[in-house]
Structure 1
Amino acid sequence: MTDTPILDTHLHLVDRGRLDYPWLSGAPPLDRDWTLEDYAREARRLGIGGALHMEVDVADPLIEAETGWIEELAASGVFPIRGAIAACRPESPDFEAFLERAVGRDIVVGFRRPLHVVPDELSRGDIFRANLRRLAGPDLPFDLCVLARQLPLAIELADAAPEVRFVLDHCGVPDIAGGGWDSWARDITELARRPNVSAKISGVIAYGGEDWTLDQLTRWVMHTAEAFGPERICWGGDWPVCTLGGGLSTWMAATRAIVADWSAADRAALYGGTAERIWKL
């Protein structure tokens, strides 16, 4: 157990009666409601004392409605939601007006536009990159959700917007089950050379296949941690996607085993200190 409560920087919540999630029909194991009450019950048992909600790629017209819903949940007192990493569409010519509205909501601490579900050329467009650079003004981080093969794209974006702070999700989604080490490890090292990029130790149990082992996960987590250093890594549960690899409790146990030999200061940074600084909590 850590000395202070853990901050989970990657919590997804789903309410299909309130919002529309087009991608869920293609993910049967996840195609159900995932409530804050269910998450809170398990999280508290694990020493998780707060969370950042991560957008869940709702239908475009409902992006701001999702943020409003999270505002309501944060005010409900069910569990401490410390902020929302809101969906955004930098490819939209209306992004500037959207950003002005979003920045006016106290719950919003960052943004994400999933890039693994759209053509790579979308984020190479002039409008996308110009709008991404607008995040430097309010100094709100942008989460990079890319597949391992797209890590060079993440490097491009970090270079195209050097004044913007980025957070790489899920260790860059490595192909752990397939053993896709070499190019992933090289690109993680290269991305980490960008001082405006941090990384989440999150989600990896969903990429290890049914028979993943602790030793197997450790290699990938430690490479990410060593590349970025303790001052630029934070922890995320990735609930409910983590249920594809064993669940939140399993991932928390694996994380604790992997970092058992770290210094108390480095563990504290991973479990909350770095996140507090990244998202100005």
Structure 2
Amino acid sequence: MFIDTHLHLIDQSALHYPWLAGVEALNRDFLYGEYALQAQRAGITRALHMEVDVTPSEIQTEIDYVAGLSKGEGSLIAGAIAACRPEEAGFSAYLERQRANPFVKGFRRILHTMPDDLSESSLFRDNIRRMGGSGLTFDLCVLPRQTDRAITLVDLAPDVTFILDHCGVPDIKGDDFAVWRGGITEIAKRPNVIAKISGIVAYADAQWQAETLKPYVHHVIGSFGWDRIVWGSDWPVCTLGGGLATWIAATHALVSGCSESEKTKLFSGNAERVWTL
């Protein structure tokens, strides 16, 4: 059974997502009911909602919207990774509000589509340090060329647990393995970083097979070890690479030779520990 640590829900009647205008394949509603049916069929028992880069003024609205869904009978949603803006002066007050909200398990600020120097301001870094001791995690979504900047941020906040999204966003389609591999090896040396096995089916070409993904997933597991990896669906982005059931089947194939205890850590055990689920 899986805990999905990276679920996106899109409801354009409730929230606004400016970036969707540039991604035609995802520019529709992806609602909880559609996800839940697929997820339960595939063996997902709980999920963390990952922020979907809504209009900044709607960040709290998104949290409240997902919290409402979590209250439904039999809901899979166990918490949320909320959007945040560490580059803004209001972050400190926002942090304190979310610390008082047990539904919020962590934060993410999209970095891979933002200017490289966003995380280099003193305000951004000071605000990330403020998360130390809060129990809230910080998801890093960075390109391989941005990994050095991510490492700097990680080193400046050793008391914060960072989650490296999507295996470090490798360019599988472009076969740029060496640069990505070196960055993973280096960031994995930091004990306060956990890697998320997620998202990569969207970075491969349409003809990908489990063997295509194998060197990437195995390098991440080998670098981080079984105690510092979690699993995520990246639904609905995974629909760009075959869909939820296909990604879960590929995951089973990729760890088929591993022990049951190792699989349990990846599928659910580590997530339970990291986010106290």
Q: Same fold (TM over 0.5)?
A: yes
Q: Secondary structure at the match of 2:28?
A: coil
CA distance in 1, matches of 2:94, 2:15: 19
Alignment of 1:21 onto 2:17: yes
CA distance in 2, matches of 1:79, 1:243: 22
**C-alpha contact (below 8 Å) 1:171/1:200 kept by paired residues:** yes
Matching residue of 1:175? 171
Q: Which runs of 5+ in 1 are unaligned?
A: none
Q: Secondary structure at the match of 2:131?
A: helix
Question: In structure 1, what residue type is equivalent to 2:225?
Answer: G
Task: Report % sequence identity.
Answer: 52
Alignment of 1:265 onto 2:261: yes
Runs of 4 or more above 4 Å deviation: none
Q: Post-superposition shift, 1:213?
A: 1.7
Per-residue Cα deviation, 1:71-123 (whole angstroms, up to 9, x for no partner): 10000125221110000000010111111111121210010001012111110
Matching residue of 2:203? 207
Matching residue of 1:117? 113
Q: Secondary structure at the match of 1:76?
A: coil
Alignment of 1:160 onto 2:156: yes
Alignment of 1:100 onto 2:125: no
CA distance in 2, matches of 1:218, 1:117: 26
Question: In structure 2, what residue type is equivalent to 1:153?
Answer: R
Alignment of 1:143 onto 2:139: yes
Matching residue of 2:194? 198
**C-alpha contact (below 8 Å) 1:49/1:80 kept by paired residues:** yes
Matching residue of 2:81? 85
Which stretch has the larger CA shift, 32-41 or 135-144?
A: 135-144
Aligned residues: 277
- TM-score normalised according to structure 2 size: 0.98
State the Cα RMSD in Å.
0.8
CA distance in 1, matches of 2:13, 2:173: 35
CA distance in 1, matches of 2:99, 2:57: 18
Which among 230, 233, 251 is matched to residue 229 of structure 2? Answer: 233
Per-residue Cα deviation, 1:178-223 (whole angstroms, up to 9, x for no partner): 1010010011000000000000000110001111121110110000
CA distance in 1, matches of 2:77, 2:209: 31
Q: Post-superposition shift, 1:20?
A: 0.7
CA distance in 1, matches of 2:177, 2:32: 35
Q: Post-superposition shift, 1:137?
A: 2.8
CA distance in 2, matches of 1:145, 1:75: 29
Per-residue Cα deviation, 1:123-144 (whole angstroms, up to 9, x for no partner): 0000000000111131211000
Alignment of 1:256 onto 2:252: yes
CA distance in 2, matches of 1:127, 1:193: 26
CA distance in 2, matches of 1:197, 1:39: 28
CA distance in 2, matches of 1:79, 1:29: 27
CA distance in 2, matches of 1:7, 1:227: 22
Question: In structure 1, what residue type is equivalent to 2:168?
Answer: G
Question: In structure 2, what residue type is equivalent to 1:20?
Answer: H
